[in-house]
Amino acid sequence: MEEHIKAEITTPNPKSIINSYRSFGYNLSTAIADIIDNSISANANEIRLEYKWKGQDSFISISDNGVGMNRDELILAMTLGSKNPEEVRSEKDLGRFGMGLKTASFSQCKRLTCITKKQNYATIKRCWDIDFINSENEWQLLDYVSDNSFLEKIEKQKSGTLVLWEKLDRIIGNAEMSNESVKNVFYQEMINVKRHLSLVFHKFIESKQIKIYFQNSEIEAYNPFLLNLNPKPEMGQTENFGNVEITYFILPHMSEIGKTDYENSGGSLGWFQEQGFYIYRGNRLLVACDWLGLEKKRDYSKLARIAVNFTNINDFNWQLDIKKSTATPPIEIRKELTRIAKIAIMKSAKIYNWRGQKTISENGNTNYEPLWTDEKTREGIKKYKINRKHPIIKSLLEENNKLVGKALKLLEDNVPIELILSNQNEDPAFHELEKQTEKPSDDLINLAIELYKINVSQGVPNELARQQIMCSTPFNLFPLINEYLNE
């Protein structure tokens, strides 16, 4: 055993440490979510987020009706690094390092006040003020609150805690109350917070474990798997791997749900960006819409979303960071995540790329003739071709091969790809909400009948003539047409 010879005890410089704790990479939404984690761990079932614009005197408060703290517990909670990340914790404990209250708060403000009341104890308060620490250069907690109305709010409760953020220099800076630009940014940031909380804590809200009030208005849950849609998403079988649960969801195609539901269900990022894994720890969302480097975001996979939930015993395995906003799956689970991702993506691609593409062939033949095909040139460039085997195109070529062939080539060389992509990027609803009608138009029925008669007149057997038409786009979308194809 090595002999350790003690030398000196070195004490970190308070001014340096307290300011470095402001740089953990939180934004306002993730910082407030971290405070709410503490409320849930304290068995609160009501959490209230309030804020007020007053220029440099603006504030944000997060209060709850949890168990509260006595004096020793409050001092411990206000102490940096107050929790051992290796100790066994309750399943409801969403913390890990005992740093969230401080790091999340300091990332947004220079004055953190915590007011708390435990049942049968007096209401107490403690305050960290970075300006005071910088001036005194020592870790000096203050018994201070800027406004007694905050104290009175907790005093009225049986128990609970209020976290108050003042000197919001990261959001407000030195802006005066009359500064409309900063005021608007402040309000917009708070709206972003509301959206973030509705997603991150949606499982808690849905199960009625908690209610979160935003300026006295109750926040509704946003479930990223859109279980309220009609038709409902396809839900895969939940697979368990130790303490990890994995379930995939395949959303219906956008054209199936209507314009209003499409706009309301895309989330703040839209359907394309919200595909991928959703990683939960104890039902609290950590990472959203990310393929974790196992897959890439593609248009045809936008209907695939996968829920992964693990317990807080797995924190180290998932390399969870202080902000609880990044998580890396352990090696032993990556293979399963990849496998399930491929299943979900294939199902999404089938719905997205081939919706409605079906035949009615009784012999089980699923071949059909599309109007368009794609092929790759020697240079690796994708070109789109009109299918010469399609019965209508084939018939036209037989009647006037030379002229029709030139016309088809002209169309192929001038596919408006840039315009299509521009429209898709500007507003995907232009294309994605296009619905297939349930009944064929009279013009389409008459075209199928005319084509059928031409084929039969050329000696094609009735059944084969019928099958060729019904296996071609767009006739294959309407089985009803088959009933009109008789001599």
pLDDT tens-digit profile of 316-339?
Answer: 577 766 656 677 888 889 999 999
Q: What is the pTM of this model?
A: 0.76
How far apart, in whole angstroms, are the C-alpha atoms of residue 193 and residue 30?
8
Question: Which pLDDT score, from 0 to 100, does residue 382 have?
Answer: 77
Chain segment 83-125, per-residue pLDDT in tens: 544 454 455 555 444 567 999 999 999 999 999 999 999 999 9
Strand partners, 163: 62, 114
Return d(Cα 79, Cα 102) in angstroms, integer.
8
Torsion angle (degrees, nearest 10) of CA 475, 481, 482, 487: -110
Q: Is 15 exposed, middle or buried (0-12, 13-18, 19+ CB in 10 A)?
A: middle
Q: How far apart are CA 391 and CA 481, in angstroms?
A: 15
Confidence of residue 148 (pLDDT cuts 50, 70, 90): very high
Q: Are residues 49 and 198 in contact, defined by beta-carbon separation less than 8 angstroms? A: no
Q: What is the mean pLDDT of residues 300-311?
A: 92
Structure confidence at residue 291 (pLDDT): 94
Question: Tokens in use for 472?
Answer: 């071609």
> Among 38-52, 286-300, 338-352, which range has the highest average pLDDT?
38-52
Specify the pLDDT at position 92: 52
Q: What is the pLDDT of residue 286?
A: 92
Question: Which of left, alpha, beta for 387 (phi over 0: left; psi -120 to 50: alpha)?
Answer: beta
**Secondary structure (3-state) at 281:** strand
Residues 6+ apart with CB under 8 A from 160: 44, 63, 64, 65, 66, 68, 116, 117, 154
More confident residue, 295 or 271: 295
Phi, psi torsion values for 230, nearest 5 degrees: -130, 115
Instruction: Please give the residue that has the higher pLDDT: either 311 or 105.
Output: 105
Q: How far apart are CA 159 and CA 68, in angstroms?
A: 5
Sequence ranges of the domains in the chain: 14-218, 234-354, 372-484
Q: Give yes or no for a contact between 41 and 95, defined as CB atoms under 8 angstroms apart.
A: yes
Give the CATH superfamily of 14-218.
Histidine kinase-like ATPase, C-terminal domain (3.30.565.10)
Q: What CATH number should be reported for the domain whose range is 234-354?
A: 3.30.230
Query: Does residue 150 carry a pLDDT above 60?
Result: yes
CA 213 to chain centre: 21
Helices 401-413 & 391-399, crossing angle to 10 degrees? 130
Domains 14-218 and 234-354 share a fold: no
Choose between 204 and 407: higher pLDDT.
204
